[in-house]
Amino acid sequence: MLETDKIFAGSIPENYDRYMVPLIFEPYAADLARRAASLSPDTVLEIAAGTGAVTRILAPKLSADATYTVTDLNQPMLDYAASRQPPDSRIRWRQADALALPFENAAFDLVCCQFGVMFFPDRMSGYREARRVLKPGGHFLFNVWDRIEENIFAHDVTNALAEMFPDDPPRFLARTPHGYHDIALIRRDLEEAGFSHMTIETRAEQSRAPSPRLPAVAYCQGTLLRTEIEARDAEKLDAAIEHAASAIAARHGSGEVAAKIQAHVIMAVA
């Protein structure tokens, strides 16, 4: 992962929530919230909360006396998440680095994270921090994307941009969001960090959009692909979107489109 792979600022938070959340994140947010609520936690920490896709679904499922601490490294993402959340005295918003959490030992029953650990510069430090702030027997619940070839629109966009920039193809999607998909490696990392009783489930869903252009806009404007495209040619963002849309249309049709997305869901006990 590059240092720039974790800077979600400018218009990216709004575009991320507007396009990416309904395109690929909502079904996994609902799944993660369901699993989290089934544990009946009293104290919850969400790390790398992004624009609050999980927060909006999980908060209503928690008990009236629960506390829910929602964090993200990027203040603009956290601000946007807070702006989308109905008033709730149980929720505490806090900017925090998952590799150096500003919380006491054994403070939470549950630590959850939707598609965030791939962005950790040092995953072992992040895992050890999650375990440190969990109570004995507490749960660490998170998900990661499977390899990019199992996530069709992401793969289509990546390939289209490689055609457009053959000398220096933008590889953000393959490198970071889809760069930590090896189940054996994930299990070894968690064991080394001190977790036990792990379960890993691979879950396929469908990504749906009303037109081929929406996934192209979502990935090119709502992720850090935008930064990579503009770094190569600041004038070619619109052209990149159109080229990606054409590639998706060629493969999936010009009307409503649907394609497979796939992720691993991990539960580990502290």
Q: What is the full per-residue pLDDT of the chain (270 aa) written as tens digits?
A: 444 334 444 456 777 788 888 899 999 999 999 999 999 999 999 999 999 999 999 999 999 999 999 999 999 889 999 999 999 999 999 999 999 999 999 999 999 999 999 999 999 999 999 999 999 999 999 999 999 999 999 999 999 999 999 999 999 999 999 999 999 999 999 999 999 899 999 999 999 999 999 999 999 988 889 999 999 999 999 999 999 999 999 999 999 999 999 999 999 999
The 3-state DSSP class for residue 245 equals helix
Residue that the structure tokens 């691979």 belong to: 202
Q: Given this model, what pLDDT does residue 12 score? A: 63
Count Cα neighbours of 146 within 13 Å in the Cβ-side half-sphere: 18
CB atoms within 10 A of CB 252: 18
- In whole angstroms, what is the distance from residue 149 CA to residue 153 CA? 9
At 27, give phi and psi (nearest 5°).
Answer: -65, -35
Q: How many domains does the chain have?
A: 1
CB atoms within 10 A of CB 230: 15
Range of the domain at 246: 3-269
CATH of the domain at 12: 3.40.50.150
Of residues 267, 247, 242, the one with CA closest to residue 257: 247
- In whole angstroms, what is the distance from residue 48 CA to residue 189 CA? 19
CB atoms within 10 A of CB 36: 24
Q: Given this model, what pLDDT does residue 189 score? A: 98
- In whole angstroms, what is the distance from residue 80 CA to residue 86 CA? 12
At 94, give phi and psi (nearest 5°).
Answer: -150, 130
Dihedral over Cα of 128, 48, 267, 180: its sign: negative
Of residues 118, 108, 132, 130, the one with CA closest to residue 186: 118
Are 116 and 142 in contact by the 8 Å Cβ rule? The answer is yes
Q: Given this model, what pLDDT does residue 15 score? A: 77
